[in-house]
């Protein structure tokens, strides 16, 4: 019988750039390793910037049996029944300020409100975003006018565009004083405006409280700057080989990249023991 590291009770996986390869597929080798972890009594879940409808197919594929961290930590949701265990929203004035600045800088915006994604108009950028997330987007014209007419605050705002313009947005937006939302780069061409204090790391602490386990018993995998706090919080923080340099520096272990079964390699090496490998 292989020797499992009994310290670990929860595996938390970022999706894009981590769990899936460049074609957004989960390899059989990774699925095999996650199944072995569950057999060993370790729970498995996702921590993603995606919304519930977008993350759920991946959760089902890996057999997630712990609540999902969604919207980069703004929501924690049950993968089975969809029950919301934690949720927070982005205050309307801060969201509107972001929309106005994004318009000035000619950045594409995905507005996450309720359980829908709203855009101004259909474009190649919006089509690619919709393909990636696997969810329908609703074109409403002027997003500032649209949001200003809503009663509810949004969950988050996602900006898509060239890196130089995203950097310019962050400089101006974050110069607005204290109490601002969390602005985080989730991909090279993605910048997200999140509610203040929200991150995957803060959500992992909340999730561990809900499950009644210490954060030291968690293994977290990620690649982007939005994974940084989670990597720092986890008992075993793992950066993928394709991860941002800051994430690699914060991690305890650096895995092979997401196209080379990096998740499986680390699980077999550091959590399950090589005896779980097929044929051994």
Confidence of residue 77 (pLDDT cuts 50, 70, 90): very high
The answer to whether 184 and 192 are in contact (CB under 8 A) is yes
Both tokens of 34, joined, read: 């996650």
Two tokens at 32? 């095999």
CB atoms within 10 A of CB 260: 16
Q: Does this model's pTM top 0.85? A: yes
d(CA 184, CA 193): 7
The domain spans of the chain are: 10-87+198-276, 92-194
pLDDT score at 273:
81
Cβ count within 10 A of residue 57: 10
User: Domain 10-87+198-276, CATH 3.40.50.1000 — does that match?
Assistant: yes
Average pLDDT over residues 44-73: 97
Contacts of 155 (CB under 8 A, 6+ apart): 51, 71, 74, 75, 87, 89, 90, 112, 113
Helix H or strand E encompassing 60:
helix 52-62
Distances (CA, A) of 27 to 13, 19, 34, 83, 268: 14, 9, 11, 29, 15
Q: What is the DSSP letter of 40?
A: T
**Average predicted confidence (pLDDT) for the chain:** 94
Does residue 259 have a pLDDT over 60?
Answer: yes
Topology of domain 92-194, CATH: 3.30.1240
Q: Does the structure show a pLDDT above 90 at 179? A: no
At residue 239, the 3 state secondary structure works out as strand
């Amino acid at each position: 019988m292989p020797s499992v590291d009994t310290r670990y009770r929860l595996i938390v996986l970022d999706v894009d750039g981590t769990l899936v390869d460049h074609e957004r597929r989960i390899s059989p080798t990774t699925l095999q390793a996650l199944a072995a972890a569950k057999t060993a009594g370790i729970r498995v879940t996702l921590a993603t910037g995606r919304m519930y409808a977008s993350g759920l197919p991946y959760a089902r594929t890996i057999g997630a049996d712990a609540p999902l961290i969604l919207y980069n930590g703004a929501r924690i949701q049950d993968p089975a029944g969809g029950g919301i265990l934690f949720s927070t929203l982005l205050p309307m004035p801060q969201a509107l300020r972001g929309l106005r600045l994004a318009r000035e800088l000619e950045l594409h915006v995905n507005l996450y409100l309720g359980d829908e994604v709203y855009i101004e108009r259909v474009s190649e950028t919006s089509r690619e975003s919709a393909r990636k997330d696997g969810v329908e987007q609703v074109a409403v014209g002027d997003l500032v006018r649209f949001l200003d007419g809503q009663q509810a605050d949004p969950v988050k705002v996602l900006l898509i565009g060239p890196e130089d313009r995203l950097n310019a947005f962050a400089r101006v937006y974050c110069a607005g004083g204290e109490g601002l939302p969390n602005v985080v780069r989730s991909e090279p061409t993605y910048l997200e405006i999140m509610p203040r204090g929200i991150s995957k790391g803060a959500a992992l602490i909340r999730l561990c409280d809900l499950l009644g386990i210490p954060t030291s018993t968690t293994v977290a995998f990620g690649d982007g700057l939005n994974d940084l706090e989670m990597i720092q919080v986890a008992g075993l923080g793992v950066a993928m080989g394709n991860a941002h340099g800051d994430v690699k520096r914060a991690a305890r272990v650096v895995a092979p990249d997401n196209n080379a079964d990096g998740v499986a390699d680390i699980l077999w090496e550091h959590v399950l023991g090589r005896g779980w490998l097929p044929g051994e």
